[in-house]
A and B are shown apart, each in its own frame.
Chain A
Amino acid sequence: MKISSVNGRPVNLDINTIDLPITAYASIAHRVTGVVLCAAVLVLLWFLQKSLASAEDFAEVQQILLSSPIKFMMFLFLAPFWYHLVAGLRHLVMDTGIGESLEGGRLGAKIVFVVSAVLILITGVWLWGV
């Protein structure tokens, strides 16, 4: 471990052993969900194409989407979608200068997690009709 030349205290820059702040988790999750959504676009486009092809194909897509493993796949698309959307809106809010302080950043990250969790919960209830 390096020793700081300023105050003689040890400096740890190994990111694997640093406790990341909540804002870092919010940022990482924003990236991960973004990459996941990229892959989802291909699947969604295929569903869209088929659903518009004919009435029979439309009915078939409905059947596929209602089957339980695919329903779960839809959830695996919608959950990162909500998170990415809410985290993106936070960026837009921060662009106006709101929530840029350390405390504001932490609070913003918490709000993003809570709001997207609520939206994901609503989506689950909508899909499975609990």
Chain B
Amino acid sequence: MGRVTSIASFGRNGLYDWVIQRISALVIAAYFVFLVYFIASNPDLTYEQWRGLFSHFCMQVFSTLALLMLMAHIWIGIWGVLTDYVTPRLMGPKANLIRYFLQFAVLTTVAVVTVIGLGIFWSL
């Protein structure tokens, strides 16, 4: 079997994908654990507090970083799932075409969500 080259992987090769997947995981984990902690420790959360948190410059940077990392994480993760299951061996000769379509759909969604997310974070 030849070397697997894929123009559709995120970090150009498996090693980059591996590293990006781990770094992004840590950032996403820190972001969501912080948010869950913030919500859980403020049972009487007000709109002012909530908006104050997200409009703080440091939080805007943290949110942006977490969003970009999350999108990369999703892209690499979905790529792994699709290239494992949507294959000619499991799904027949049309599998490659279906996978390219799905990857295109995921990539488009990721791009749109990134733009929407950045719009939310930086319009505060």
Using a CB–CB cutoff of 8 Å, the interface residues on chain A facing chain B are 31, 34-35, 38, 41-42, 45, 48-49, 51-52, 54-55, 58-59, 78, 81, 85, 88-89, 91-92, 95, 126
Contact = CB atoms under 8 A, between A and B. Distances in A.
B117 interface: yes
B50 A58 contact: yes
Interface residues of B, number: 23
Contacts of B12: none
B120 interface: yes
Contacts of B54: 48, 52
Interface in B82-124: 113, 116-117, 120, 124
Contact of B22 (A42, A58, A78, A92): A92
Contacts of B33: 85
A45 B78 contact: no
A95 B50 CA distance: 37
B50 A34 contact: no
Contact of A52 (B25, B78, B120): B120
Nearest to A81: B32
Given A34-B77, A38-B78, A95-B22, A45 B47 contact: no
Given A35-B81, A52-B51, A59-B47, A92 B25 contact: yes
A51 B117 CA distance: 14
B69 interface: no
Contacts of A55: 47
Interface string B19-41: 00010011001001100100010
B70 interface: yes
A116 B96 CA distance: 36
Nearest to B123: A52
A58 B50 CA distance: 9
Contacts of B22: 91-92, 95
Contacts of B70: 41
